[in-house]
A and B are shown apart, each in its own frame.
Chain A
Amino acid sequence: MCGIIGYTGFRDANKVLIDSLKRLEYRGYDSAGISVIHKKQQVYKQVGEIKALEKNLPDFKGTVGVGHTRWATHGGVTKENAHPHLSSNKKIAVVHNGIIENFSKLRENLIKKGYKFASQTDSEVIAHLIEDNYKDNLEKAVYSALKKVEGYYAIVVTSTDEPDKIVGARKDSPLVIGVGDNENFLGSDITAFLKYTKRVVFLNDGELCAVTNKDIKIFDENNKAVKRDEQVIKWDYKDAEKSGFSHFMLKEIFDQPDTVHHVIRGRVSEIDRAIQFNENVENLLSNGLDSIHIVACGTSYYAGLVGKYMLEKLTGIPVIVELASEYRYFGTRDENSLIIGVTQSGETLDTLAALKEAKNSGCRILVITNVIGSTATRLSDGYILTQSGPEIGVAATKTFTSQILVLCLIALKIGMLKNKIGADEVYKYILQLKELPRKVRQALDQSDEILKIANQLKNTQSVFFIGRGINYPLSLEGALKLKEISYLHAEGFAAGELKHGPFALLTKITPVVAIVTKDFTYEKLLANIGEVKARGPKVIAIADENDTEIEKHADFVIRFPSNSDIMSCIPIIVILQLLAYHVANLRGCSIDKPRNLAKSVTVE
């Protein structure tokens, strides 16, 4: 999925395009670009989010232009491959959403005719093809060019020969016209220009339009002019973007049965009892590992802490988890250590800097990221994609569980390579992995019960989260989620540490969320809950569905489906996310864009 936008009018095209692209960011954000006409096509592209594009944006003059935000599903993400694409004579700029199926043939023909290609994309073909068909009218050239194209597309085109015109066309990909006064828009959806106008004209499949700041012409498949009335948008289009969920975060929490699959699919084979990665990654994992460093920030750091438990348990290799901003200046670099960098965006500046430092010291780098072609993947020796799709909510949800699962697969793979775990045990874990989507669904089923318990937390000042073992980093993450979006003070503690200090802060009005799994620390944790109860606060336990004791100890219980000591963490996280979400929602907080926070942090 990609987002495209075109503008012609009186405002600074620069500003309008950037604004609109930000609205379209939910359609993808691995690279972006704009082109504004002022005598010539002024193009600026950047890998990364729209923010990266905005940061060093040259001060282009001009009031007509096109923009694009990209989410590659295959192929590299580079500046060259980012849109807009220019024709060989640099007069025509094109942005495209879709796939050109016969592009290699078209490309061959165009190269024979002497056209010069600057990128590897299928989209660039359109730009040269339009130039090839251009006589004196842009919409005619676009029409003739598209006749030769197979596939599906929505495109917006400008040309310096007709500097006030934007031409759009669509087939099986969305494109709408926004109607303003002395200005007009084209966009992948209405949200792109909703800030400027609520009046729209819909384009049907196969239609083409030529738009200037004053008038709009629409042509059908046979190039016959069509008349169409404009409509005024009354309903909230945001709803459609979020598929009926009230927030992106909630939608993304509910995406998790699918995103879990995306991590496993193609990597875990139940019949062959095997875990497979690409060659680069397998090489990194099979060569004499003495130790592993996981380097990350924020939620990714907590994913690393969870991964540490898995890796140490399944491989016996010591694991050190470091905050990237610290490791960068103070960490040790050991050539025999594998450095695993975890970053959702692949652009987190602190993590990138830390990885560069490690690389310069001769360490091997493995990166876990959600964004193909991001800077992190390019400086790595091997990378694993979490394949979670774009995540819009600033608070990480689905990418967090996917990062943990990738670390889990790495642990299983190394464990197998080192013969630390037998084939039968591997099979047990594989079955548990395959069962995870349904366990996640089971956790999601409890959303309404969790909402009831969230009511207990909404008016408090401060909340503690406690757990032991793998549940300790989960407590940290549970607390982080709550503070990020509900602005409540929350802290996560290792349950055994309470008595070494934090007790001083515990009062009757500090609810404690305890994560209780039925492992060998179960009794100890019950004792910790007892210590807490003695001081008066309410205890909310997140406990195994088969735990019959817990009601005697806790005031409220949320059940997670039992799976195993390792994999249970995934449904537990889902419960913690729902808890944070419901508390924030009850408190009326801005959930998808919490104050002072940004999705990916590209500054130090």
Chain B
Amino acid sequence: MKAVILAAGEGKRLRPFTETIPKVMLPVANKPVLEYVVDAVKKSGIAEIIIVVGYKKEVIMEYFKEYKGLKISYVTQDKQLGTAHALLQAKSRIKETFIVISGDNIVDQKSISQLIKDQSKYSMLIKEHPHPSKYGAVFIEKGKLKEIVEKPKEEIGKFISTGIYKLPKSIFKTVEELTSRGTNDLTSVIQEVMKNGEEINTIKAESWMDIVYPWDLIQINEAMIHSSKFSVGGVVEKEVTIKGDVSIGKDTTIYSGCYIVGPVVIGEGCEIGPNACIFPSTTIGNNSVVHPFSEIRNSVIMDDTHIGSNSFIKNSIIARGTIISNNFSCISGDNTVEIDGEFKKLENLGAMIGEDCTFGSHVVIDPGIIIGRKCNIESMKKITKNVTSNTKVM
């Protein structure tokens, strides 16, 4: 059986983090989200994967070039019109029943195996969820799908659609019909199939997560960091305390007096300390430097970052290439933020900082603030509002 992974989307709601990489390449414990998907699919016994790429496809194709000898081929969706339209691009590669899965969903391998083994003509993975209104709410009867309601106004039902399906090749007829009428989402295709009298079996997924908003990255990092293969490479100097599961990449040096409590993943070529403290569940990317007396908790620090001395970072995301001078502090707390025209109440959240920013010393950032890419924040500033990309704060 083949698997089609949809990875063409840009992830506009995840800006600024998706300005230079596609959504599926966002790092979780130093691995792109898509790698978790590919691994789960591979482990469930699928030998051939077709990835539908589009936005910034080079990043994906370069990363998965020689991936564990797995046979991966690519089809391009030039315009990101919708999930059904994306699937349609893979039509010529599909000869039999296949599974389709979104590249930004992290799902456990067992659930995929169950889906593959299921004998029904059509089947889908569903998941219990406290807030169905964000997704497609799913109603079932005797294990079969009864109805999908896209983004219901009220919190009705308790299951949602994961968007992971096992489908027969004949589905492409319906897909073609609908897309030619301008309906481009997979949910509508499924509704159409039901209308034609087909039964769709439902299987409950054990674990399933997706990334919609920037802060989801912190939660998913916390949830997935345990699955890392922990190993210590590089140099750990004397008088360093390491507790719990800590991974340290090659060419990384942890200087004297550091205190690290796992789960923590530190990439390759980093320099940490002396006397820096890193607490759970923190990921630090490759080639990053954390200077003395800084404290980092439950955060995602990506590649090439520089964190000055005496800084405090908690529940935050710092993207690739950002340079932070000394005495930086992001206050973690509650805030209501507007994103995509919607107001979201956020709890216990720090700062979310885009790629290649530069911060002067003694900058303080309010909870839940998003700072765009390539911003320049001068010394002694307090940031209380979101900052758009390429802004100078003087």
Interface residues of A (CB under 8 A from B): 1, 152, 154, 170-174, 202, 204-205, 234-235, 239-240, 243-245, 251, 254, 261, 264-266, 269-271, 431, 434-435, 437-438, 441-442
Chain B residues with Cβ below 8 Å from A431 are 306
CA distance A441 to B322 in the complex (A): 12
Chain A residues with Cβ below 8 Å from B355 are 438, 441
CA distance A261 to B286 in the complex (A): 10
Known pairs A204-B47, A244-B57, A271-B271; A170 contacts B69 (CB<8 A) = yes
- A interface footprint on B249-285 (CB within 8 Å = 1, 0 otherwise): 0010101000000000000110101100000000000
**Beta-carbon contact of A172 and B68 below 8 Å:** yes
What are the nearest 10 A-B pairs in CB distance? A438-B321, A243-B62, A243-B61, A265-B269, A244-B58, A244-B61, A172-B69, A204-B47, A266-B251, A244-B57
CA distance A270 to B323 in the complex (A): 13
Interface residues of B (CB under 8 A from A): 20, 47-48, 53, 57-58, 60-62, 65-66, 68-71, 73-74, 92, 251, 253, 255, 268-269, 271, 273-274, 286-287, 289, 291, 304, 306, 320-321, 323, 355-356, 374
CA distance A442 to B304 in the complex (A): 14
List 9 additional contacts besides A244-B62, A261-B269; criterion CB under 8 Å.
A204-B47, A205-B70, A244-B57, A251-B62, A270-B289, A434-B287, A434-B304, A435-B323, A437-B321
| CB proximity of A32 to chain B, nearest CB, Å | 19
Known pairs A244-B61, A245-B58; A269 contacts B253 (CB<8 A) = yes
**Beta-carbon contact of A244 and B74 below 8 Å:** yes
Can you give 22 contacting A-B residue pairs, CB < 8 Å? A154-B69, A174-B71, A202-B48, A205-B47, A244-B57, A244-B58, A244-B60, A244-B62, A245-B58, A251-B58, A261-B269, A264-B287, A265-B268, A269-B253, A269-B271, A270-B306, A271-B255, A271-B271, A434-B289, A437-B321, A438-B320, A441-B321
Chain B residue nearest in CB terms to A207:
B47
**Beta-carbon contact of A239 and B69 below 8 Å:** no
**Beta-carbon contact of A442 and B269 below 8 Å:** no
**Beta-carbon contact of B269 and A266 below 8 Å:** yes
| CB proximity of B128 to chain A, nearest CB, Å | 34
Chain B residue nearest in CB terms to A271:
B271
| CB proximity of A324 to chain B, nearest CB, Å | 33
CA distance A255 to B355 in the complex (A): 18
Residue in A244, A245, A266, A437 whose beta carbon sits within 8 Å of that of B304 in the complex: A437
| CB proximity of A74 to chain B, nearest CB, Å | 12
**Beta-carbon contact of B61 and A171 below 8 Å:** no
Residue in B65, B269, B304 whose beta carbon sits within 8 Å of that of A243 in the complex: B65
Chain B residue nearest in CB terms to A436:
B304
Chain A residues with Cβ below 8 Å from B47 are 202, 204-205
Of B48, B61, B73, chain A has the most CB atoms within 10 Å of the CB of B61
| CB proximity of B146 to chain A, nearest CB, Å | 38
Chain B residues with Cβ below 8 Å from A269 are 253, 271
Chain B residue nearest in CB terms to A27:
B66
CA distance A503 to B53 in the complex (A): 51
**Beta-carbon contact of A240 and B66 below 8 Å:** no
**Beta-carbon contact of B287 and A265 below 8 Å:** yes
Chain A residue nearest in CB terms to B292:
A271
**Beta-carbon contact of A441 and B66 below 8 Å:** no
CA distance A204 to B68 in the complex (A): 12
Residue in B58, B74, B271, B374 whose beta carbon sits within 8 Å of that of A270 in the complex: B271
| CB proximity of A473 to chain B, nearest CB, Å | 28
CA distance A361 to B73 in the complex (A): 56
CA distance A437 to B306 in the complex (A): 13
| CB proximity of B318 to chain A, nearest CB, Å | 13
Residue in A173, A204, A240, A435 whose beta carbon sits within 8 Å of that of B74 in the complex: A240
CA distance A244 to B64 in the complex (A): 12
Of B20, B62, B73, chain A has the most CB atoms within 10 Å of the CB of B62
CA distance A157 to B323 in the complex (A): 52
Chain A residue nearest in CB terms to B321:
A438
**Beta-carbon contact of B58 and A243 below 8 Å:** yes
CA distance A438 to B61 in the complex (A): 21
**Beta-carbon contact of A261 and B287 below 8 Å:** yes
Chain A residues with Cβ below 8 Å from B321 are 437-438, 441
Known pairs A205-B47, A235-B73; A271 contacts B274 (CB<8 A) = yes
Chain A residues with Cβ below 8 Å from B320 are 438
Of A154, A264, A265, chain B has the most CB atoms within 10 Å of the CB of A265
Chain B residues with Cβ below 8 Å from A239 are 61, 74
CA distance A221 to B289 in the complex (A): 45
Chain A residues with Cβ below 8 Å from B92 are 234
CA distance A442 to B390 in the complex (A): 12
Chain B residues with Cβ below 8 Å from A173 are 69
Chain B residue nearest in CB terms to A445:
B20
Chain A residues with Cβ below 8 Å from B304 are 261, 434, 437-438
Known pairs A174-B66, A266-B251, A441-B356; A240 contacts B271 (CB<8 A) = no
Chain A residues with Cβ below 8 Å from B60 are 244
Chain B residues with Cβ below 8 Å from A235 are 73
CA distance A205 to B46 in the complex (A): 10
**Beta-carbon contact of A271 and B289 below 8 Å:** yes
Chain A residue nearest in CB terms to B306:
A434
**Beta-carbon contact of A265 and B251 below 8 Å:** yes
| CB proximity of A90 to chain B, nearest CB, Å | 30
Residue in B58, B289, B291, B323 whose beta carbon sits within 8 Å of that of A254 in the complex: B58
Chain A residue nearest in CB terms to B286:
A261
Chain A residues with Cβ below 8 Å from B57 are 244
| CB proximity of A231 to chain B, nearest CB, Å | 9
| CB proximity of A100 to chain B, nearest CB, Å | 15
CA distance A173 to B67 in the complex (A): 8
**Beta-carbon contact of B253 and A174 below 8 Å:** no
| CB proximity of A189 to chain B, nearest CB, Å | 10
| CB proximity of B374 to chain A, nearest CB, Å | 8
Chain A residues with Cβ below 8 Å from B253 are 269, 271
Chain A residues with Cβ below 8 Å from B70 are 205
Chain B residues with Cβ below 8 Å from A174 are 66, 69, 71
CA distance A240 to B62 in the complex (A): 8
| CB proximity of A182 to chain B, nearest CB, Å | 27
| CB proximity of B306 to chain A, nearest CB, Å | 7
CA distance A202 to B71 in the complex (A): 9
Chain A residues with Cβ below 8 Å from B71 are 174, 202
| CB proximity of B385 to chain A, nearest CB, Å | 25
CA distance A240 to B67 in the complex (A): 12
CA distance A138 to B282 in the complex (A): 51
| CB proximity of B41 to chain A, nearest CB, Å | 13
Residue in B58, B69, B273 whose beta carbon sits within 8 Å of that of A271 in the complex: B273
Chain A residue nearest in CB terms to B47:
A204
Chain B residue nearest in CB terms to A154:
B69
| CB proximity of A552 to chain B, nearest CB, Å | 23
| CB proximity of B248 to chain A, nearest CB, Å | 14
Chain B residues with Cβ below 8 Å from A435 are 306, 323
Chain A residue nearest in CB terms to B92:
A234
| CB proximity of A587 to chain B, nearest CB, Å | 23
Chain B residues with Cβ below 8 Å from A442 are 356, 374
Chain B residues with Cβ below 8 Å from A244 are 53, 57-58, 60-62, 74
CA distance A71 to B68 in the complex (A): 18
CA distance A271 to B276 in the complex (A): 12
| CB proximity of B148 to chain A, nearest CB, Å | 34
| CB proximity of A157 to chain B, nearest CB, Å | 18
| CB proximity of B293 to chain A, nearest CB, Å | 13
Chain A residue nearest in CB terms to B273:
A271
| CB proximity of B47 to chain A, nearest CB, Å | 5
| CB proximity of B320 to chain A, nearest CB, Å | 8
Chain A residues with Cβ below 8 Å from B306 are 270, 431, 434-435
| CB proximity of A387 to chain B, nearest CB, Å | 12
